[in-house]
Amino acid sequence: MRERLQKVLAKAGIASRRRAEELIRQGKVRVDGLVVTEMGTRVDPETQKIECNGIPVTSEEKKVYILLHKPVGYLSTVDDPQGRPIVTDLLVGIKERIYPVGRLDLDTEGALLLTNDGELAQKILHPSHEVNKTYEAEVKGRPGKKKLAALSKGIMLDGNKTWPADTEIIKTVSRSTTVRITIHEGRKRQVRKMFDAIGHPVLKLKRIAYGQLELGSLEPGKYRFLSLDDLKSIFNK
C-alpha cells in the first residue's frame, strides 16, 4: 500500500511526523537509492527500499537485535558488489532485514550490533546520546602519560576536536602497549587516527563494549540475541 513518505517514517518510529518532514527536506531520506525531498511523495514500504541517514527503514517486521563478534576480514555491510566476506554471511536463518549499527573497519574485530530497529540504530549512532564505545587498542611503542592525556582532553582530527576519551593502559610488552580507550563519537577510523596523531599507530583493534554491553567471551564469528536488559545496558555509562 502506498503512503506518504513522512507517514511511513513516523510509523516506523524514526521520528515524529514533523521531524520526518525535516529529514526529508534536508535530503536525508532515499527511496530506491534516490534522495527524495518532495513532501508528500507516496511510497510502498513493502516493495521499495527506504533509507534514512543511510539506514533502512522497516515497519512491521519483528525487531531483532544481535551482538556479533566481527572477525577481522569481514566488511560491516549487508552487500558487497565485489563478493568479499560480509558480516551477515556469519548469521544463520535470520529472515529479517538486519544491518549493522555503525561500522568496524575491515581490519578491526569485536562487538558489532545488528538490528532492523531503525529507531534504536539512530539513537545509538547519534552523538547526542553519547553511547560509549570501548576498544582495546594494541599500539606501537609505549605512549606516555602526557600523550594519553592529550587523547583524554581531545585532539584535532581533520579540523575538528575529538570529544574527551577515557584511556587506561592494560598491558605493556617490549614493542607494544595495549590501551583501553572509550569514546562516544563514531568518526571514520577514529581510534586509529587518534593514536596516529600521538605517534603510536594501532597494530590491532578490538571493540569490547557498547556502553555496558560487553562482548565478553563471545568468540570471533559467533553471535547472540540481545535481551531488553542488554539493550538498556548500551545506554549505561
Q: Does residue 43 touch ligand URA according to CB under 6 A?
A: no
Quick check: 189 binds ligand URA (CB under 6 A)?
Answer: yes
Catalytic residue, from 105, 117, 158, 196: name it: 105
> 3-state class of 68 per DSSP?
strand
The correct pick among 66, 205, 209, 215 for binding ligand URA (CB under 6 A) is 205
Give the nearer residue to ligand URA in terms of CB position, either 141 or 186: 186
Among 190, 226, 230, 234, binds ligand URA (CB under 6 A): 190
How many degrees, rounded to 5, is the angle at CA 168 between CA 163 and CA 173?
130
Q: Can residue 200 be called a binding residue for ligand URA (CB under 6 A)?
A: no
Handedness of CA 35, 32, 16, 1 (dihedral sign): positive
Binding residues for ligand URA, total number by CB under 6 A: 8
What is the C-alpha to C-alpha distance for residues 220 and 168, in angstroms, rounded to an integer? 24
Taking the complex as a whole, how short is the minimal distance between the CB of residue 7 and ligand URA, in angstroms? 35
CB of 42 to ligand URA, least distance (A): 39
CB atoms within 10 A of CB 32: 11
The torsion angles phi and psi of 181, rounded to 5 degrees, stand at -130, 135
| Pick 13 or 154: Cβ nearer ligand URA | 154
* Residue 10: other Cβ atoms inside 10 A: 17
Supply the minimum distance, in Å, between the C-beta of residue 71 and ligand URA. 13
CA angle 120, 122, 126 (to 5 degrees): 125
Closest approach of Cβ 195 to ligand URA, in Å? 8
Residue type, 8: V
For the window 86-105, what string marks contact with ligand URA as x by the rule CB under 6 A? ------------------xx
* Annotated catalytic residue 105: yes
By CB under 6 A, residue 108 contacts ligand URA: yes
The one among 28, 69, 147, 192 contacting ligand URA by CB under 6 A: 192
Beta carbons within 10 angstroms of residue 87's beta carbon? 24
Angle at 151 between CA 150 and CA 155, to 5 degrees: 80
Cell of 51: 533509507
Contact residues: ligand URA, CB under 6 A = 104-105, 108, 189-192, 205
**Would you name the residues annotated as active-site residues?**
105
